[in-house]
């Protein structure tokens, strides 16, 4: 049998090398999420649950971070033990942490950085008094507690704080908002809604809309100095549930003294819930607002066989006009529709990259255990990269006998979690982790390469 051998024409060496370099460049040009190893933050109190983590990053110093959490000893299901708020300071980008006590704080910490090392921690103290501690040197020394004026309002709930980072006349102003009951003209009973105060003012401003029970859940200050407050409907004044809750924004251009009419962000189609907001301070989408919305909330409250929502289990809303109008952005979570994507936290770095972190149950069909996931958007929230699991081991908080009361109240470690973008573009995650026993605060740094 005759064999015919054909000689292949070989490409010149320079062409082969060029093709190889191009292929290598294309490979490295693919966007990637690079997550560091988790670091234990609250390791000095390993037997005490820590929940409700909040985190902020200094806008100029890439290594300066400050977080806070509730130290909540468990006294069994249905009971509330003595709680306290602990602060945590890192000057090396999250590698090591120092605990900072806030003795007047009991629960609901919220951390906000300003310029020049200015820092504020808002919290609730005894009898739900609204309290603020302040630092002028990045968290080394503190003044306070300052009791925020209540005026005619009652006890506060779930405070949020924001510091004006603008170059305007109110730069450095500290704003604090919380839910409070207050008297309303024309009504015999008190109404519950947002109360906003700029530290230094004698009285808060009460926001009343549609005479419903409403709760603020986030606030930010734009480069113009405008304060934007987020709040949502919860119930009627009598406590009756609403068929479709609505999320709103209001803006103040005069330092929190007057506010715009409420702008509708979203009316629930099912039972999706807004959780946290972030502002883009980069030149890419300057002052764009992002709101992370948990579309899987129905599955936590209703039967497991509830149909998955059509808008995705976790998505973002976007505004380019200081919160006056909103549109639906991209779907964040890429988990299966049966998985829960809970307590999302968004942040935007100096390059305009939008990061989102959340607790996810995709590795537990029963939905009792969760991991922390992270993803990012390079196109202003239109699409998101494949998500990355941050936690090596799952957290199963209800399986830990020493914290069953805490885990019953906070199955995902709190009503919010921490995510902040450092001045060098790194994202810092700050979460309640129960993989080794009771809830402990952990952190990890994430880089997103374009």
Torsion of CA 212, 213, 219, 224, to 10 degrees: 20
Partners of 374 in beta bridges: 357, 388
Exposed/middle/buried for 237, CB within 10 Å: 0-12, 13-18, 19+? middle
Contacts of 286 (CB under 8 A, 6+ apart): 223, 280
pLDDT digits (tens, 9 = 90+) for 87-120: 999 999 999 999 999 999 999 999 999 999 999 9
Residue ranges of E strands in 172-294: 174-182, 191-198, 205-206, 212-221, 227-236, 246-252, 263-267, 273-279, 289-294
User: Looking at the predicted structure, is the pLDDT value of residue 394 above 90?
Assistant: yes
Please report the domains of the chain, with CATH numbers, ordered by start residue.
Answer: 31-446 (2.120.10.10)
pLDDT of residue 26: 44
Tell me what pLDDT residue 305 has: 42
Q: Average pLDDT, stretch 31-57?
A: 95
Candidate from 71-75, 250-254, 430-434 with smallest mean pLDDT: 71-75
At 234 the pLDDT is: 84
For tokens 């490409």, name the residue.
11
Expressed in angstroms, the distance from the first to the final Cα of the chain is 57
pLDDT of residue 76: 52
Q: What is the pTM of this model?
A: 0.90
The residue-averaged pLDDT of 179-205 equals: 89
pLDDT, residue 210, reads: 82
Instruction: Pick the more confident residue, 219 or 9.
Output: 219
323-364 residue pLDDT tens: 999 999 999 999 988 888 999 999 999 999 999 999 999 999
Lowest mean pLDDT among 67-76, 275-284, 316-325: 67-76
pLDDT the model gives residue 194: 95
Q: What is the edge-to-edge ordering of all strands in the sheet holding 227-236? A: 212-221, 227-236, 246-252, 263-267
Biggest alpha carbon distance in the chain?
106
Convert the pLDDT of each residue in 132-185 to its tens digit: 999 999 999 999 999 999 988 888 999 999 999 999 999 999 999 999 999 888
Predicted confidence band of residue 296 (pLDDT cuts 50, 70, 90): low
Q: What's the pLDDT at 442?
A: 98
- The answer to whether 306 touches 298, Cβ cutoff 8 Å, is yes
What are the E-state strand segments in 91-135?
A: 98-102, 107-113, 119-124, 130-135
The predicted structure's pLDDT at residue 313: 80
Token pair of 231 as six digits: 């709040």
Of the candidates 113, 130, 132, 129, which has an alpha carbon nearest to the alpha carbon of residue 121? Answer: 132
Is 221:208 a contact under the CB 8 Å cutoff? no
Phi, psi of 284 (to 5 degrees): -65, -55
- Give the pLDDT mean for 300-328: 74
Dihedral angle at the C-alpha atoms of 145, 146, 148, 154, nearest 10 degrees? Answer: 40
Q: Are 55 and 430 in contact (CB under 8 A)?
A: yes
SS3 content of the chain, % helix, strand, coil (to 5): 10, 40, 50
Q: What is the mean predicted confidence (pLDDT) over 14-24?
A: 43
Residue 292 has pLDDT above 80, yes or no: yes
Rounded to an integer, the average pLDDT of 173-198 is 91
Contact 154, 124 (CB under 8 A): no
Predicted local confidence at residue 309, as pLDDT: 52
> pLDDT tens, 56-92?
999 999 999 999 999 988 655 444 457 999 999 999 9
């Amino acid at each position: 049998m005759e064999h015919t051998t054909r000689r292949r024409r070989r490409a010149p060496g320079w062409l082969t090398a060029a093709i190889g370099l191009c292929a290598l460049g294309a490979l490295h040009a693919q966007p990637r999420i690079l997550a560091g190893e988790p670091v234990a933050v609250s390791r000095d109190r390993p037997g005490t649950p820590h929940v409700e983590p909040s985190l902020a990053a200094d806008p100029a110093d890439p290594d300066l971070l400050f977080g806070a959490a509730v130290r909540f000893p468990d006294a069994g299901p249905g009971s509330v033990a003595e709680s306290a708020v602990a602060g945590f300071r890192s000057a090396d980008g999250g590698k090591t942490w120092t605990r900072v006590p806030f003795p007047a704080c009991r629960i609901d910490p919220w951390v906000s950085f300003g310029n020049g090392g200015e820092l504020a921690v808002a919290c609730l103290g005894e009898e739900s008094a609204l309290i603020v501690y302040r630092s002028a040197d990045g968290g080394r020394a503190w003044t306070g507690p300052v009791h925020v004026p209540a005026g005619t309002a009652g006890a506060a709930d779930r405070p949020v704080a924001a510091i004006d980072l603008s170059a305007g006349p109110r730069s450095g102003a500290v704003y604090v908002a919380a839910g409070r009951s207050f008297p309303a003209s024309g009504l015999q009973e008190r109404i519950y809604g947002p109360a906003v105060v700029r530290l230094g003012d004698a009285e808060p401003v009460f926001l009343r809309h549609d005479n419903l029970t409403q709760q603020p859940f986030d606030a930010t200050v734009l480069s113009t100095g405008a304060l934007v407050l987020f709040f949502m409907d919860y119930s009627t004044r009598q406590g009756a549930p609403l068929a479709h809750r609505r999320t709103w924004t209001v803006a103040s251009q005069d330092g929190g003294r007057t506010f715009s009419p409420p702008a509708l962000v979203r009316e629930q189609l099912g039972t999706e819930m807004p959780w946290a907001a972030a502002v883009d301070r980069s030149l890419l989408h300057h002052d764009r607002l992002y709101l992370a919305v948990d579309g899987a909330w129905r599955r936590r409250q209703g039967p497991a066989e509830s149909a998955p929502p059509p808008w995705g289990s976790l998505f973002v809303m976007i505004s380019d006009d200081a919160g006056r109008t909103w549109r639906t952005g991209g779907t964040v979570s890429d988990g299966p529709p049966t998985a829960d994507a809970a307590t999302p936290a968004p942040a935007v770095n100096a390059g305009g990259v939008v990061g989102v972190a959340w607790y996810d149950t995709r590795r537990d069909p029963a939905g009792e255990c969760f991991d922390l996931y992270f993803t990012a958007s390079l196109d202003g929230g239109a699409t998101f990269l494949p998500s990355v699991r941050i936690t090596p081991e799952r957290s199963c908080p209800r399986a830990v006998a020493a914290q069953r009361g805490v885990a019953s109240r906070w199955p995902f470690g709190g009503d919010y979690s921490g995510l902040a973008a450092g001045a060098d573009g790194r994202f810092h995650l700050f979460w309640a982790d129960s993989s080794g026993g009771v809830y402990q605060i952990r952190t990890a740094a994430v880089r997103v390469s374009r």
